[in-house]
């Protein structure tokens, strides 16, 4: 086939595929209620699939199981981490599930393609001394510093995902009960407790500092900047810089604070099912990874309960 004809054909195929990807994103957002961040991740993953299709001159509507397996091998050859490979395969599999649903194709060629086994890393969490350094409250007049202090404290005492924090609206706060309504993954609502936060910091930020930061601007959201709602990336940057200024050596992200929340509860005797509910986990298996990070507590339990270890 003439090389020019191949290039024209591939260009048309990509444009055609992109129109399906656009409708797929709408399906994720409005039918499955995925977050904008997850949808963006899926789109980025599908771009890698497009590269594969172009390289091997395949049409996305005519891919078979052998070619689906070939894509998996293509990802492995690129030496992506197993977690990344799994994400890319899951995105493509979901895309084809959508194509089957809208009757663009009859069968999903990726349905039987298994993701590589992902080695689950132990969650990174702060030890007691690091927590002391990070959560040492200061009397500071700078409004943005107060807000940042509030963000770090609030993430730790609630165990929220950073996206959940960014999406909290003022109407979600049940102040008389020290609770907040949170919309989690899959648009599932749960109640989150925040009584453990410093009371003065909470009311000072919510009642005073937030209003001053907005400076006459309107916003429904709890966590704000001068222009309105804070983004996930902004909060991630705030947490990182806040920990650096407090001389915490460990890498600290919003997820580190979530892990620390869960680990501290378990170390204090909370049952794993309750912790999972507070974290908004759908499955107990998701929470079970935390049973591996409380080695000190497990050692003490063993020494205090095994008949022969007591002597």
Catalytic residues: 161, 185, 255, 258, 281, 290
Spatial distance between the Cα atoms of 287 and 265, rounded to a whole number of angstroms = 12
Spatial distance between the Cα atoms of 114 and 110, rounded to a whole number of angstroms = 8
Q: What is the 3-state secondary structure (H, E, C) of the chain?
A: CCHHHHHHHHHHHHHHHHHHHHHHHHHHHHHCCCCHHHHHHHHHHHHHHHHHHHHHCCCCCCCCHHHHHHHHHHHHHCCCCHHHHHHHHHHHHHHHHHHHHCCCCCCCCCCCCCCCCCCCCCCCCCCHHHHHHHCCCCCCCCHHHHHHHHHHHHHHHHCCCHHHHHCCEHHHEEHHHCEEEEECHHHCEEEEECCCCCHHHHHHHHHHHHHHHHCCCCCCECCEECCEECCHHHHHHHHHHHHHHCCCCCCCCHHHHHHHHHHHHHHCCCCHHHHHHHHCCCCHHHHHHHHHCCHHHHHHHHHHHCCCCCC
Quick one: angle between helices 232-245 and 254-267, nearest 10? 70
Closest listed residue to residue 258, CA positions, set 133, 119, 122, 123: 123
Per the CB < 8 A criterion, the answer to whether 289 and 255 are in contact is no
Quick one: angle between helices 232-245 and 143-158, nearest 10? 100
């Amino acid at each position: 086939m003439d090389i020019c004809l191949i290039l024209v054909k591939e260009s048309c195929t990509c444009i055609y595929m992109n129109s399906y990807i656009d409708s797929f994103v709408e399906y994720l957002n409005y039918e499955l209620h995925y977050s904008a961040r997850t949808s963006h991740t899926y789109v980025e993953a599908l771009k890698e699939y497009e590269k594969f299709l172009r390289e091997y001159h395949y049409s996305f509507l005519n891919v078979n199981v052998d070619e689906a397996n070939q894509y998996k091998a293509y990802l492995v050859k690129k030496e992506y981490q197993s977690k990344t490979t799994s994400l890319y395969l899951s995105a493509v599999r979901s895309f084809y599930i959508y194509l089957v649903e809208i009757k663009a194709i009859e069968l999903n060629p990726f349905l039987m393609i298994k993701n590589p086994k992902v080695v689950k890393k132990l969650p990174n969490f702060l030890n007691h001394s690091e927590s002391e350094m990070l959560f040492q409250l200061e009397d500071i007049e700078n409004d943005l510093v107060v807000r940042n202090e509030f963000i770090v404290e609030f993430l730790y005492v609630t165990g929220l995902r950073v996206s959940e924090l960014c999406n909290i609206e003022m109407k979600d706060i049940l102040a008389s009960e020290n609770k907040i309504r949170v919309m989690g993954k899959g648009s599932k609502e749960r109640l989150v407790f925040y009584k453990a936060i410093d009371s003065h910091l909470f009311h000072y930020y919510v009642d005073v500092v937030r209003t001053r930061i907005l400076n006459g601007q309107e916003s429904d959201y709890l966590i704000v900047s001068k222009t309105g709602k804070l983004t996930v990336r902004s909060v991630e940057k705030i947490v990182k810089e806040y920990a650096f200024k407090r001389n915490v050596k460990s890498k600290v992200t919003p997820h580190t604070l979530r892990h620390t929340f869960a680990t501290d509860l378990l170390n204090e005797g909370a049952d794993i099912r309750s912790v999972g509910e507070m974290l908004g986990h759908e499955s107990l298996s998701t929470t079970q990874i935390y049973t591996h990070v409380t080695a000190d507590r497990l050692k003490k339990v063993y020494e205090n309960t095994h008949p022969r270890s007591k002597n």
